[in-house]
Chain A
Amino acid sequence: MSSSTLFGIATFAYLFATFFYVGYLAFRGRAVGNAATGMVWLGVVSQAGAMIMRWVESYRMGIGHAPLSNMYESLGFFGWCVMIAYLVVEYRFKQKAVGAFVSPLAFVILAANALLFPDEIQPLVPALQSNWLIAHVVTSFVAYGSFAVSFGVSIMYLVKRRSERMGSEGSLVSLFPESKMLDEVNYKSIAVGFPLLSLGIITGAAWANYAWGTYWSWDPKETWSLITWFIYAAYLHARFTRGWQGTRTAVLSIVGFSAVIFTYFGVNFLLSGLHSYS
């Protein structure tokens, strides 16, 4: 079995997980819920297998490096981190309904990856040959994964509030977790993501200092990661000391994740800079 087959399996596993989670929302069947979680596990394990295979394969080609070095590899890893973060939330909060809003994200990420980016293993340019690569990429993407969960939960929150205001109970929405719980999960994901994002920026700065002689050069990628950091810092201050909750924090969280997405894709495809290879 090749690594791209495994990625394909994972892509469809997340698609089916989405269906099952929606089904779970509709019917509350235990079996459906378990099938959904099972699908997520299938996806996560297949992806892990695929990444390990690529890693091994790169060594066999004599250009050994961790599978985190180009768009294809990092995007796959992003999808994986999203689902890992989700599994943690599902386990901690016992809220499977959230999966209906998170697994489609992972599906879209993996499907887009397969369609848009070449999957051949490429040799590393000298700038990427550093031990900082893994630390920087892993911390950043685990942070992105947690932010993706907070994004999914915030969307749920807004949908729920809207239907509550319109008084249309009884639909799928009434089966969402209560808004307080959604708000809590939103905060918790950001509370995990924020220190990791900080660590991602710091490891990136340390690496930049080794590779380019300056730890901060206002490169678009650096600047956008700082913009993301500012937004989540605003979220945390608003929540802790100004007592913001609910709709306003959900909106801030969505804005924050939009900044994450722009940091990741927008900078690579719309702007130019030092990060052009990833």
Chain B
Amino acid sequence: MTSENQQKVKSRESTGKPSTKSTEKSFIKGIYDSLASVTLAIFLLIILAMTSIVGTVVLQNGRPEQYLKEYGPGAYRLFQSLALDDMYRSWWFLTLLTLLLVNITLCSIKRFPRTWRLMTQSPAVLDESLFRRMKFRGSVRRGVSPGEAEERIRDLLADRFGKFTENRNEEAVTFFVDRGWYGRMGAYVVHLSILLLAIGAIYGGAVGFKGFVSIVEGQTINRVPLRGRNAAVKLPFDIRCDDFQVIYYPGTRQPKDYYSDLVVIRDGKEVQRKRIEVNHPLIVDGIYFYQSSYGVDQSSTVTFDVLDPSGKVAAPSVTVSVGQPFNVIGDSSTYGIQQILPSYIGGRPAVQMSRITAGGRQDFFISMAAPDRDKLRGGQVYFRIRDANIREYTGLQVAWDPGVPLVWIASSVMIGGLFIAFFVPHRRVWLRVELDPENTAVLMAGSTNRNPASFEKEFDGALVALKQALKKDRGKDIGDKE
């Protein structure tokens, strides 16, 4: 900390006799002062850090039975009374966040005038008292004339610091270097960005919506059920899903990518088509459609040929959907489809089957790409997929958040603010030259609000250079002292 930050602000309290009015006033002032204090900021940051942990440990937005099963009825009652099952939206957590915002605002308002003065109203003349207050200082006494000294100092300053100003009176001239004054704005910029962020988040939350919809291939929708609420929004256009596809990493069942071909229809006309995938949403009127999940619609059916081990037709073919049990003539077991994989080997469908007999259950797999492979199972009959009428659905997150642009603006402002707060120190250097032909004395003083160690190097370097520059005959050391 430099001395400038420790200057006390003069108290403006009245010196009159204490009255009810002034007690009231000082009470309000007391509240204001604590709301605007950095101590409160530190306290709130630590309390927020501690309480935020709760929501990462306790299940959030679960169903009652989940809580009862995991924590028991007593704990569940406690969770409900403190809203720990939805704590980031609870009244007390939002109160803490609001307090932090109020604190940031008041604290910035309270401190800003002083910062503004430090930024813009630096003393133009280096006098004795200012000189003594500065942490970095030095003086030089040399035999060169004041005029000559001024010339050489101008060169030196231009060389080492760039821009500077001059202030002249009868006794002396002060050169003043003022660099990175805007660095002091950093903290305020960051605080402002946090307020903007909050406004963006609140606005987006209040006006926008988030929902989830699944669309079967070929289907058109224009209503989106909202997440966590028993309501839906009607879109100002229709969305149709023409196709959905999953691509797997070769030889695995791990999806590499999944796509939906979406069509936007407005007043009966197709106005936009887009293939969306994870990380590449469709945007219509600011409404985002994100590829989120997928599955096979219940209406999908598969038609099997039923063959005997020699490859001859053993029974009429069957057409069934998932979970629908069926029997085959001459076979006492019950078969059923567990799961349909629409595009498996070679992009062709496969099914996970089950066979239930008196002895138990057997699972097996049939792929359309390997028609007679099921024979190897060695049953009384085997199946071959003749045809599959599979309809997949695509699961889409739908979000409209008009606060997002403000959130990104706020984020950029925050990064800019942090950068100047940490890496743009406000550095000031004063050089005073006495205009006394008998006695050319130069005083040099400096201050910085950040990184004093590196400023010290710069300052000392400049001081040495100054001493060098003010030698009577530059280049020759004549051994004079300060």
Residues of A participating in the B interface, judged by any CB pair closer than 8 Å: 62-63, 123, 125-127, 129-130, 184, 191-192, 194-195, 198-199, 202, 205-206, 209-216, 218, 220, 223-224, 226-227, 230-231, 233-234, 237-238, 240-243, 259, 267, 271
Bits for B27-51, please: 1 = Cβ < 8 Å to A, else 0: 0000000000011011001101100
Answer yes or no: B201 CB below 8 A from chain A CBs: yes
Report the separation of the CA atoms of residues A242 and B6 in the bound assembly, to the nearest whole angstrom: 10
- On chain B, the residues within 8 Å of A215 by CB distance are 401, 404, 407
Report the separation of the CA atoms of residues A205 and B49 in the bound assembly, to the nearest whole angstrom: 19
Which of A123, A199, A214, A226 meets B254, CB within 8 Å? A123
Q: Is the CB of B249 within 8 A of A123?
A: yes
Answer yes or no: B281 CB below 8 A from chain A CBs: yes
Answer yes or no: B257 CB below 8 A from chain A CBs: yes
The interface on chain B, measured as residues whose beta carbon lies within 8 A of the other chain's beta carbons, has a size of 49
Report the separation of the CA atoms of residues A34 and B450 in the bound assembly, to the nearest whole angstrom: 31
**What's the nearest-Cβ distance from chain B to residue A177, in Å?**
13
Report the separation of the CA atoms of residues A129 and B280 in the bound assembly, to the nearest whole angstrom: 10
Q: Is the CB of B418 within 8 A of A198?
A: yes
Contact A220/B1 with A123-B249, A234-B42 known, Cβ cut-off 8 Å? no
Taking CB as reference atom, which chain A residue is nearest B422?
A191
Q: Is the CB of B258 within 8 A of A212?
A: no
Taking CB as reference atom, which chain A residue is nearest B255?
A126
Q: Is the CB of A199 within 8 A of B415?
A: yes
Contact A198/B42 with A224-B56, A234-B49 known, Cβ cut-off 8 Å? no
Q: Is the CB of A227 within 8 A of B407?
A: no
- On chain B, the residues within 8 Å of A191 by CB distance are 422
Q: Is the CB of B201 within 8 A of A216?
A: yes
**What's the nearest-Cβ distance from chain B to residue A214, in Å?**
6
Report the separation of the CA atoms of residues A85 and B191 in the bound assembly, to the nearest whole angstrom: 28
Q: Is the CB of A126 within 8 A of B411?
A: no
B409-436, CB < 8 A from A: 411, 414-415, 418-419, 422
Answer yes or no: B343 CB below 8 A from chain A CBs: no
Contact A126/B407 with A213-B399, A224-B56 known, Cβ cut-off 8 Å? no
Q: Is the CB of B55 within 8 A of A223?
A: yes
Taking CB as reference atom, which chain A residue is nearest B397?
A213
- On chain A, the residues within 8 Å of B352 by CB distance are none
**What's the nearest-Cβ distance from chain B to residue A137, in Å?**
15
Q: Is the CB of B45 within 8 A of A129?
A: no
Taking CB as reference atom, which chain B residue is nearest A210?
B279
Contact A127/B279 with A213-B210, A213-B397 known, Cβ cut-off 8 Å? yes
- On chain B, the residues within 8 Å of A210 by CB distance are 279-281, 290
Contact A259/B281 with A125-B254, A125-B255, A206-B408 known, Cβ cut-off 8 Å? no
B269-290, CB < 8 A from A: 277-281, 288, 290
Answer yes or no: B453 CB below 8 A from chain A CBs: yes
Q: Is the CB of A242 within 8 A of B278?
A: no
Answer yes or no: B478 CB below 8 A from chain A CBs: no
Answer yes or no: B256 CB below 8 A from chain A CBs: yes
Report the separation of the CA atoms of residues A275 and B45 in the bound assembly, to the nearest whole angstrom: 25
Report the separation of the CA atoms of residues A184 and B450 in the bound assembly, to the nearest whole angstrom: 11
Report the separation of the CA atoms of residues A123 and B257 in the bound assembly, to the nearest whole angstrom: 11
Taking CB as reference atom, which chain A residue is nearest B45?
A234
Q: Is the CB of A212 within 8 A of B254?
A: no
- On chain A, the residues within 8 Å of B56 by CB distance are 220, 223-224, 267, 271
Taking CB as reference atom, which chain B residue is nearest A201?
B411
Which of B53, B187, B281, B411 meets A205, CB within 8 Å? B411
**What's the nearest-Cβ distance from chain A to residue B235, in Å?**
15
Q: Is the CB of B41 within 8 A of A227?
A: no
- On chain A, the residues within 8 Å of B187 by CB distance are 240
Taking CB as reference atom, which chain B residue is nearest A266?
B56
**What's the nearest-Cβ distance from chain A to residue B226, in Å?**
13
Q: Is the CB of A231 within 8 A of B52?
A: no
Q: Is the CB of A227 within 8 A of B279?
A: no
Q: Is the CB of A231 within 8 A of B45?
A: yes
